[in-house]
Every structure is written in C-alpha cells, then in structure tokens.
Amino acid sequence: MQDLSILMEQGLLNVRTSALVKCGEHYLIHKEVQDDFWCLVGGRVKFGEDSWLAVKREFLEELDYEIVQPQNLIFHVEQFFSHENINYHELNYGYFIELDTQEIESQIRQEEGKTFIYEWKTAEEIQELTLYPEIAAEMIHNQKFEFQHVI
C-alpha cells in the first residue's frame, strides 16, 4: 500500500497519524537527530488504511510496540508549513494513549537512512521545546486530552 502523500506542483499533501503517549508524568516524543523540533510518534496513513490502524502499525514498525489500548481520538489538525524546502498541506489525526508503565524505552533508531531519537519528557521539559503539532504541547500543558479540531 502507498502512503497518502501526494506530491503536487505547489507542495506535498500529507495524511498523518500520531499518538500522544502518557506514562505517569512523562510523554513520549521523537525527533530526527538534526531537527530543532520534536513531534509525536506516528507516520503516514497508507491508502485503504484508517488512521487508528495506521498509528498502531507505525508503533509496531518504529518501536516494536503493539498498542492494545482503546481508540481515543483527541485531535484533527489541518496544518500548512514548510520543511526542507517543501510546502506541506497536512492532515494529522492524533490519539491519546495512557500507559501504566514505560513499556517503550527511550532509544535512538535508524529508519530509512535517518536517525531518530525517542525520549520520555515531562510536561515541564516539553514546555522548553518546540513540539508539533502545537496543540499537543497545549494539551500537555493544560492536562486536557479532549477532542479538538484545529485549522
């Protein structure tokens, strides 16, 4: 199956899914080693795949972790940004997952020739970072994980 990413003359239309993962007072985030910003763990939705199945697949592929928690959609973000000289029009579906123990370890992984850092951070540490989508940082700061549609 192909990723739901369509390269057009104006830029890239991208359908993404991610999870805001909380364990106690910590949240799992990741970044590409050279980036100056962090993201929620997730990836692109594939053609014929719904966003919940996609986030489960991404966690299995990236972290060898099988999500067994129930589905809990907390945001749908429509965002426009530029990264590496490409204009993006991105639709991002975000889910909330709460773990009892840190079953996923902080780690550095190689994926498709890129190096990613996965780390658990507190809400206070996250406030000092740039985290995308921005609504995730806001939810962590306010400790409110209720559905929001953001444009």
Burial class from Cβ neighbours inside 10 Å (0-12, 13-18, 19+) for residue 110 reads exposed
5-150 homologous superfamily: Nucleoside Triphosphate Pyrophosphohydrolase (3.90.79.10)
pLDDT tens column, 24-77:
999 999 999 999 999 999 999 999 999 999 999 999 988 888 888 888 999 999
In b/e form, how buried is each residue of 111-135, taking b as 16+ CB within 10 angstroms? Answer: eeeeebebbbbebeebeeeebbbeb
**Domain assignments of the chain as residue spans, ordered by start:** 5-150
pLDDT digits (tens, 9 = 90+) for 130-151: 999 999 999 999 999 999 999 8
What pTM did the predictor assign? 0.89
Number of neighbours of residue 86 by Cβ within 10 angstroms: 11
